[in-house]
Structure 1
Amino acid sequence: MLLAVVVGAMCFAACSETNSTVEEFPEWQSKNDTYWTNLYNATKAKVDAGDTSWKLIPNYSKEKQANTATSAVTYKPEDYIIVHVKETGTGAAMPLYTDSVRVHYQGCLLPSTTYTSGLIFDTSWGGEKFNEHTARAAHMLVSSTVDGFSTALQKMKVGDHWTVYMPYQLAYRGSEAGFVPAYSNLIFDLRLVEIAHPGTALGNN
């Protein structure tokens, strides 16, 4: 299932609201903006204090921009993804933008009216909990994913297990995609399994 990961996922039609309808995502953009500001500030404080289990990683496309004599590259909080390192792998290489990968993933939203732990909108494994004995990793091109996802993949090594927080500016911005409403920050559980360069096949397990 790649409904909410691959760029260009189909949009869904929201049900029309009536007076008796419970609004699932009230003041959603404002909630996501506030969440991101608070998370960014808290993470920056941890990083500045020397906590290496948290990372602020700039959007890969902006990271490659160079300062010039007349202008400097500036970063805003929404230009970063935030990473909480759960496990560090033993791999040496990191995927390139043109590579393919096998990765276990589960994506969820911020808590909403009825999804108090956050709606799980997409997952590569069956069930809510990850089981290394039964889960099958998804195959994908790094370049086929949204900016936040591809930024994370390009900094991971095989065996890494990260929780990755993406601002909506590096996800679907102001558009709906699958079960993801507009202006949604995304939270992913990612486990990188394998990297393959163009022309090289990935494994099947």
Structure 2
Amino acid sequence: MNKNLFALAVLFCTLLVFGACSKDDDEVDEEWKAYNEELARKAAANPEYKSRASLSGNGSVYWKNTDFFEKDETPSLKITETGSPYSSDSVVARYEGWYYLEDGTKVVFDSTEKDNATTGRGFRISGMDASGTFTGVIDGWITMLTNMKVGDAVEVCIPYRLAYGAAGKYDYYTGVQSIPGYTTLWFNIKLLKIIPDNPNEYKE
């Protein structure tokens, strides 16, 4: 076989292989998307959960109160603050986030419950940094936090449209896709503190 024909044969085989892989990947993505949409539908239909519409209009989260954080011996939180945080505020919270694989395995991808459970973690709810980069949390968190009071503890189901969307969460520093696209997420969240930034956010 001459070199040109051999090269064409290799190219043809390569295209066949990559074409098959792409098709399989698309099918897996569609299966994953459908599975996660079904999980969100089940949460929406579960009478234990309440629905809360997102301010963005992209859907709703489904939540219920939880005793998840009462499993440790943390002293009772002394509540000195009233009201809910604004989206421009910062907060301190304890939380654990997870999603489910198709075989039902629970994958915990982030948690404050290992090394600093009593103090939680502080972060800005939403905003931009000096470079104009969005620095806030996902839509579902904004929806939930701005309706919580200090001391509240909830379990919340967040459909992918209010989470990391079709792209998922990718860490560009490590090169790891920590959350696949189209993933329905769950969190246990306890609000510990509100750090006001713009208390007149919604006032005229």
Matches of 2:152 and 2:49, distance apart in 1: 13
Pairing of 1:112-123 with structure 2 (within 5 A): 112-113=102-103, 116-123=104-111
Residue 126 of structure 1 aligns to a residue whose secondary structure is: coil
State the SS of the aligned residue for 1:60.
coil
Structure 1 pair 160–38 and aligned structure 2 pair: CA distance change class (3 A): same
Note if 1:169 corresponds to 2:161: yes
Letter in 2 for 1:153: L
In structure 2, the residue corresponding to 1:155 is in which secondary structure?
A: coil
Note if 1:159 corresponds to 2:147.
Answer: no
- Asked whether the 8 Å contact 1:175–1:181 carries over to 2, the reply is yes
Question: Which of 76, 82, 86 matches 2:66?
Answer: 86
Matches within 5 A, 1:42-57: 42=46, 46=47, 54-57=49-52
In the TM superposition, structure 1's runs of 4+ consecutive aligned residues that sit over 3 Å from their partners are none
Residue aligned with 1:30, SS: helix
How many angstroms does 1:39 deviate by? 1.9
- Segments of structure 2 that go 5 or more residues without pairing to the other structure are 1-20, 22-27, 68-76, 127-135, 171-177, 200-204
Shift of 1:27: 2.1
Provide TM-score, normalisation by structure 1.
0.63
Distance 2:62 2:124 in 1: 21
Q: Distance in 1 between matches of 2:38 and 2:102?
A: 14
Deviates more, 1:26-35 or 1:94-103: 26-35
In structure 2, relative to structure 1, the CA distance for the partners of 1:110 and 1:94 (3 Å cut) is: same
Residue type of the alignment partner of 1:194: K
Instruction: Please list the CA deviations of residues 59-117 of structure 1 after superposition, one character each: whole Å capped at 9, or x if unmatched.
Output: 0233xxxxxxxxxxxxxxx7100001126x9653101010000000110002344xx44
Q: What CA RMSD, in Å, does the superposition of the two structures yield over aligned residues?
A: 2.7
> Does residue 61 of the first structure (1) align with residue 18 of the second (2)?
no
Task: Provide the identity percentage.
Answer: 24
> Does the Cα contact within 8 Å between 1:126 and 1:135 map onto a contact in 2?
no
Give yes or no for the alignment of 1:137 onto 2:132. Answer: no
Q: Partners of 2:82 and 2:198 in 1: how far apart?
A: 20
1-side partners of 2:198 and 2:157: how far apart?
A: 31
Greater share of residues in strand: 2
Cα distance in 1 for partners of 2:190, 2:153 equals 4
In structure 1, how many angstroms separate the alpha carbons of the residues matched to 2:182 and 2:112? 23
Residues 108 and 94 (structure 1 numbering): CA distance in 2 closer, same or farther, change over 3 Å?
same
Match of 1:65 in 2: none
Secondary structure, counterpart of 2:101 in structure 1: coil
| Larger RCO: 1 or 2 (CA < 8 Å, sep 6+) | 1
- Aligned residue among 90, 96, 99 for 1:109: 99
Classify the secondary structure of the residue corresponding to 2:43: helix
- The corresponding residue for 1:39 is 43
Number of positions where the alignment pairs a residue of Structure 1 with one of Structure 2: 146
